[in-house]
A and B are shown apart, each in its own frame.
Chain A
């Protein structure tokens, strides 16, 4: 383990859901260290806690116990508004179902995080233009989501997730609603961003997608069963 400070550090994270009388440990004592620029796939069966872990990392959910340090700062104790600020500046989300605002055009959807952050219009326009160019959407700027293909929609969503230049990109089944070819295209796009220095964490069922990551977390019953690093094209448990 490197002596330098990790980008993400989870210590004893617990998340408990009460469903009627039964108690579900969605996350049971998670300890995790992620360094800047890592490419991680989180895998596991449904209900294993993958999405809860993602929401926790994205500050959409609060742990019932434990500590989450992001870039050396304990973010579990922040107020909701401070957490929103962190989400705005440091974290990008990509969802399985894209979550584009249907009444806004592609360009407006991409600009949304900057609008919410209160950036001046001129700066927004410039960045959106660059993003549209970079993601091959230049001729789709004025189209609404229902006029775009699935791949285009996800590219818009990724452009939106990265427009604020976050340090951490969280993707929940980013290819789940796409065919194989478009899915590959989207994954390559995400990997390009990762190559540019963004930490990429992908939650997926897809073994092929999971195999592309450099590090793989296998979850089961709210715990990380295996934390594997790719060595010579094969995964091996990191702390075996």
Chain B
């Protein structure tokens, strides 16, 4: 039997029983639509998170002293000394790198804070005016540290929301003095409450100019340097530039670690991708169910068309021809149903986007391809048994029944 005739025959058989055909296609369509819509939701969530993340200073590059990467042991490992410290001058030097927008040095230490008779152990951070921009924090009251020479700071302090509540309950904090060690700082601002970030709870921080913090902790090293790249695309170049600048300043020794917030973002990205795949897997179960329905419907169809099958055999059709006819019919119905389901799924995703305009619910290509392929595969797979039954039918008994 020629391929074109085979297809025409299958189309004719499908049109011969419209209810059966419609049911079968609907089952496939629901399966594929489920895959398309659910993966659109999953991938939409991923895009949404990535986009939101990018909005909150994801252009951040962080410089840590010392190397955390392991390079194995080589003769150099025994000769080289402890890594050089990061200094305020290192941080200033980074400003000259082309992709860098802002730089904020960071010194961290704990100290005793006292107001009047009250004493409290607290974390003191030394930094510069750029910090608030780099971290994209917000002020609740007053203002942040003033822009001034990094090596000479005013005796001012910005405190976190929780610290403010503990040091100055029921009284205004702005303009008041806080004693740290033997220095007195005037409170000029209160940070808005944000919760934790970068391993520090900003609500409990006392922020002072970097030079004063270094003097208090009797050090000239930095804990971190926060670098903001001009844009997302500049992150990787900045990462390289930063490492290069520091290496030059440290006599060619690559003794810092540069990490990006992008690495974190990549983790989220991977996580949500996996989630989407899981959801696609769950939706694929409905495709398997649809496949079983295909088998059922085709088995019933074989039973209903016994006399036709007997006739075809009498007219000289081989078992192979009959098997092919039923397989083609199952495959064709599955494919048509899958395409219909694809359209349905796209419509579903469009509805979601219309309802939540901020949510980019587009099905990923891989899910669409996998959904369509699975539908076709299950359709053919579950069409094999009915087709085999049809081919094995005894023509005498098949013809005898009316």
Interfacial residues, chain A to chain B (CB-CB below 8 A): 55, 58, 60-61, 80-81, 84-85, 87-89, 91, 93, 95, 97, 99, 101-104, 112-113, 115-118, 120, 160, 164
Are A103 and B314 touching (Cβ within 8 A)? Answer: no
Are A97 and B402 touching (Cβ within 8 A)? Answer: yes
Closest to B311 in A: A99
Interface string of B113-124 (1 = CB under 8 A from A): 000000000000
- Indicate if B308 sits at the interface (CB-CB under 8 A): yes
User: How far, in angstroms, from A15 to B180 measured CA to CA in the complex?
Assistant: 112
Q: Which of A55, A97, A104, A160 contacts B315 (CB 8 A)?
A: A160
Are B319 and A116 touching (Cβ within 8 A)? Answer: no
User: How far, in angstroms, from A180 to B40 measured CA to CA in the complex?
Assistant: 69
Are A115 and B319 touching (Cβ within 8 A)? Answer: no
- Indicate if B300 sits at the interface (CB-CB under 8 A): no
Interface string of B1-16 (1 = CB under 8 A from A): 1100100010011011
Are A164 and B15 touching (Cβ within 8 A)? Answer: no
Q: A95-B399, A118-B1 known; A85 and B307 CB under 8 Å?
A: no
- Indicate if B351 sits at the interface (CB-CB under 8 A): no
Q: In angstroms, how far is the closest chain A Cβ from the Cβ of B371?
A: 32
Q: In angstroms, how far is the closest chain B Cβ from the Cβ of A75?
A: 14
Q: In angstroms, how far is the closest chain A Cβ from the Cβ of B47?
A: 49
* B321 neighbours in A (Cβ, 8 Å): 84, 116
Tally of A-B Cβ pairs under 8 angstroms: 69
Are A89 and B314 touching (Cβ within 8 A)? Answer: no
Are A93 and B314 touching (Cβ within 8 A)? Answer: yes
- The 9 A-B pairs with the shortest beta carbon distances in the complex, nearest first, are A88-B316, A103-B16, A84-B318, A87-B316, A113-B315, A81-B318, A116-B317, A60-B395, A99-B311
User: How far, in angstroms, from A181 to B222 measured CA to CA in the complex?
Assistant: 114
Chain B contact residues: over half helix, strand or loop, or mixed? helix
Are A85 and B318 touching (Cβ within 8 A)? Answer: yes
**Beta-carbon contacts under 8 Å, B379-402 to A:** 395-396, 399, 402
* A97 neighbours in B (Cβ, 8 Å): 402
- Indicate if B312 sits at the interface (CB-CB under 8 A): yes
24 A-B contacts (beta carbon < 8 Å)? A55-B396, A80-B318, A80-B319, A81-B319, A81-B320, A84-B318, A84-B319, A87-B314, A87-B315, A87-B316, A88-B316, A95-B399, A97-B402, A99-B310, A99-B399, A103-B13, A103-B16, A104-B12, A115-B2, A115-B5, A116-B317, A116-B321, A117-B1, A117-B316
Q: In angstroms, how far is the closest chain A Cβ from the Cβ of B119?
A: 95
Are B396 and A115 touching (Cβ within 8 A)? Answer: no
User: How far, in angstroms, from A58 to B311 measured CA to CA in the complex?
Assistant: 12
Q: A101-B308, A118-B1, A118-B2 known; A88 and B315 CB under 8 Å?
A: yes
Closest to B321 in A: A116
Are B312 and A116 touching (Cβ within 8 A)? Answer: yes
User: How far, in angstroms, from A55 to B319 measured CA to CA in the complex?
Assistant: 18
Closest to B400 in A: A51
* A104 neighbours in B (Cβ, 8 Å): 12
- Indicate if B313 sits at the interface (CB-CB under 8 A): yes
Are A116 and B315 touching (Cβ within 8 A)? Answer: yes
Interface string of B310-338 (1 = CB under 8 A from A): 11111111111100000000000000000
Interfacial residues, chain B to chain A (CB-CB below 8 A): 1-2, 5, 9, 12-13, 15-16, 307-308, 310-321, 395-396, 399, 402
* B1 neighbours in A (Cβ, 8 Å): 115-118
User: How far, in angstroms, from A102 to B307 measured CA to CA in the complex?
Assistant: 11
Are A58 and B402 touching (Cβ within 8 A)? Answer: no
Are A101 and B311 touching (Cβ within 8 A)? Answer: yes
Are B316 and A60 touching (Cβ within 8 A)? Answer: no
User: How far, in angstroms, from A116 to B313 measured CA to CA in the complex?
Assistant: 10
User: How far, in angstroms, from A113 to B319 measured CA to CA in the complex?
Assistant: 15
* A118 neighbours in B (Cβ, 8 Å): 1-2, 5
Q: A115-B5, A118-B1 known; A61 and B319 CB under 8 Å?
A: no
User: How far, in angstroms, from A118 to B6 measured CA to CA in the complex?
Assistant: 10
Q: In angstroms, how far is the closest chain A Cβ from the Cβ of B70?
A: 68
* A101 neighbours in B (Cβ, 8 Å): 308, 311
* B5 neighbours in A (Cβ, 8 Å): 115, 118
* B395 neighbours in A (Cβ, 8 Å): 60
Q: Which of A61, A81, A117 contacts B396 (CB 8 A)?
A: A61
* B9 neighbours in A (Cβ, 8 Å): 115
User: How far, in angstroms, from A85 to B320 measured CA to CA in the complex?
Assistant: 12
